[in-house]
Amino acid sequence: MYSVQLSESYFPKQEDFAVIDKTVGEILREAATAVPDTCGLVDVLPTGETGRRWTYQEMLDDSLALAHWLAARFNKGDRVAVWSPNSPEWVLFEFACGFAGLILVTVNPSYQPKELSYVLKQSGSVALFLVHEYRGNPMGEIAEKVAKDIPHLQELVYLDSILDRIKGEQAAPSLPDVSPGDPAQIQYTSGTTGFPKGALLHHKGMVNSAYHQQCILNMLDTQARIITMMPMFHCSGCGLAVLGSVLARSTNYIVSIFIPSAVNALVERESINMVFGVPTMLVALLEDYRQTPRDFSAMSHSGSGGAMVPPELVRRVIDTWECSFITVYGQTETSPLITMTRPLDSVETIATTIGQPMPQIEVAIKDTDTGAILPCGTQGEICTRGYLNMLGYHENPDATDATIDAEGWLHTGDLGTMDESGYLRITGRVKEMIIRGGENLFPAEIENCLLEHPAVAEIAVVGLPDDKWGEIVGAFIRLSTDTAISPEELSPLQGPYITAKNTVRMALCVRISADRIRQNTPF
């Protein structure tokens, strides 16, 4: 942790770890040179069994072969989209695009025709690399129909057979020069208008976000064993997990379908050292572990981000798996990390904060109206400035200007506080604040309070329209067991955030199978 004593909510740039000027392709080449025979990539089948394995030299060879094939068809700076679940081919394609200077457009495999069409058109993608089907979504059929209305889309290529396809086909004799500041990816993030915005990320931002996380975890060159179960169309998957694994010379197990029992079995069988997932994933793993305990003695690190991490979840992971836990915070537009807790932080700090800022960036809490930096402990908008920030939203200058101000500060839209030691806490979203009878209420605070009850597994708090109060609080709650419980039993846990009786309307649900939820009480 950084030892600082602040009076205002501004955390200056810390230079304990350097910013490395490397591209996505360069870090793979360096890993293959350093540890050519180390296993770098493992295909995890839906059953949890392992399939093909790649050494770092094999990863480099396949990525370069694919890069030369791509360079024969497309020009540096062209956008190519990947529409696929996690797979080793996805990883190799990511590095190939990095070598070929192509901008990788990541697409959620659950997208339907309207969403896919929007992303392909807005990004100007010239090719779509995809799979035929995923979890019942007929992606091949959808793509064939959508492509007819997109003139600039030149090709549909099936990713799961691409390594066989490129054999014997034309390949470019050389690859273009690629610089760390060049655009690497476009990742789409939802906006308040309902139309996703394409965050244009550069090589330097993505590489250094992963690099600094590995530095803080002291995992560089450790050749650890990690699992990538976070979706690779997000920064957490294709950035922190994939790039971080290569920087650490680790073995990366690529999970295409998240099945808790299969993942837990994999952790035991392969002596996995690190598992990182969104809170709902970790909750599912803990519930399966409770039913079927396994040997997790090799696990040294776990962590979560991508959503509010309930304090009780942090304590459960540490107590159950006896490993360190980190909480991270960021967003797509920041490549993605802004803050993270440190392995030596106290359990209370890890459970109740999102950590200190990452190296080489500035973070401030600013007044949402005036833009002034606020005193420590005062709630405002979390803003950041530094190498991590996106180049902008693709072909959306108005949205870019609304997010990154004239001084280079990126406004996250998240509300939070910073204490005197530089640790941040999330209190809500600028646009999600619930105003009940003139009182400002923040979903995150209420969620954390209700999560203290052992029967509450997951919760989402929202504002509901009300004739008397303007808005009241609604809580969607998934119970951890079938045990009967009434909303009245949870009311005392609303704490100081809700003072009036019966101001939280609750819907209580229980999970009755892996993909079905039964509602016990009306909303």
Dump the DSSP string for 81-120. EEE--S-HHHHHHHHHHHHHTPEEEEE-TT--HHHHHHHH
Kindly tell me the sign of the dihedral angle through the C-alpha atoms of 431, 434, 440, 441: negative
| Radius of gyration (C-alpha) of the chain in whole angstroms | 23
Q: Give the C-alpha separation, 509 to 492, whole Å.
A: 19
CA 352 remoteness from chain centre? 20
Q: Give the C-alpha separation, 447 to 398, whole Å.
A: 34
Q: At what angle do helices 88-100 and 24-34 cross, to 10 degrees?
A: 110
- How much is the pLDDT for 307? 66
Provide the whole-model pTM.
0.86
- How much is the pLDDT for 192? 43
- Measuring CA to CA, which residue among 208, 298, 150, 271 is closest to residue 26? 208
> Can you tell me whether residue 351 is helix, strand or coil?
helix
State the first-to-last Cα distance of the chain, in angstroms, to the nearest integer.
44
Q: What is the pLDDT along the chain (523 residues), one digit of tens a residue?
A: 899 999 999 999 999 999 999 999 999 999 999 999 999 999 999 889 999 999 999 999 999 999 999 999 999 999 999 999 999 999 999 999 999 999 999 999 999 999 999 999 999 999 999 999 999 999 999 999 999 999 999 999 999 999 999 998 999 999 999 999 999 999 998 654 457 899 999 999 999 999 999 999 999 988 999 999 999 999 999 999 999 999 999 999 999 999 999 999 999 999 999 999 998 899 999 999 999 999 999 999 999 987 668 888 999 999 999 999 999 999 999 999 999 999 999 999 999 999 999 999 999 999 999 999 999 999 999 999 999 999 999 999 999 999 999 999 999 999 999 999 999 999 888 877 776 766 667 777 778 777 878 888 888 888 887 766 667 888 888 877 666 677 667 765 554 444 333 356 666 554 433 344 444 444 4
CB 410 within 8 A of CB 389: yes
The H or E element that residue 465 is part of is strand 456-466
> Can you tell me whether residue 304 is helix, strand or coil?
strand
**What is the greatest pairwise CA distance in the chain?**
73
Vertex 333 angle, CA 362 and 118, to 5°? 170
Amino acid at 98: G
CB 28 within 8 A of CB 48: no
Q: Give the C-alpha separation, 410 to 407, whole Å.
A: 9
Tokens 């990154």 map to which residue? 404
CB 42 within 8 A of CB 385: no
- Measuring CA to CA, which residue among 99, 97, 96, 115 is closest to residue 107? 115
Main-chain phi, psi angles of 499, to 5 degrees:
-105, -30
Per 3-state DSSP, what percentage of the chain is helix, strand, and coil (rounded to 5)? Answer: 30, 30, 40
Q: What are the E-state strand segments in 7-77?
A: 10-11, 39-44, 50-55
- How much is the pLDDT for 497? 40
Q: Which residues pair with 460 in a beta bridge?
A: 476
Q: Give the C-alpha separation, 111 to 117, whole Å.
A: 9
> What is residue 238's DSSP assignment?
I
Main-chain phi, psi angles of 418, to 5 degrees:
-130, 130
Q: How far is CA 66 from CA 62, 69, 95, 164, 175, in A?
A: 6, 5, 9, 10, 11
Query: What tokens appear for 157 in the block?
Result: 């290529």
CA 508 remoteness from chain centre? 28
> Can you tell me whether residue 185 is helix, strand or coil?
strand
Neighbours of 103 (CB within 10 A): 23
Q: How far is CA 333 from CA 86, 231, 295, 377, 393, in A?
A: 21, 17, 38, 25, 9
Amino acid at 173: P
Could you give all domains of the chain from N- to C-terminal order, each with its CATH number? Answer: 22-257 (3.40.50.12780), 439-519 (3.30.300.30)
> Can you tell me whether residue 444 is helix, strand or coil?
helix
- How much is the pLDDT for 404? 98
Query: What tokens appear for 12 in the block?
Result: 């200056």
CA 43 remoteness from chain centre? 21
Tokens 């030691």 map to which residue? 421
- How much is the pLDDT for 309? 83
- How much is the pLDDT for 266? 98
Measure the CA dihedral 354/357/363/368, to 10°: 0
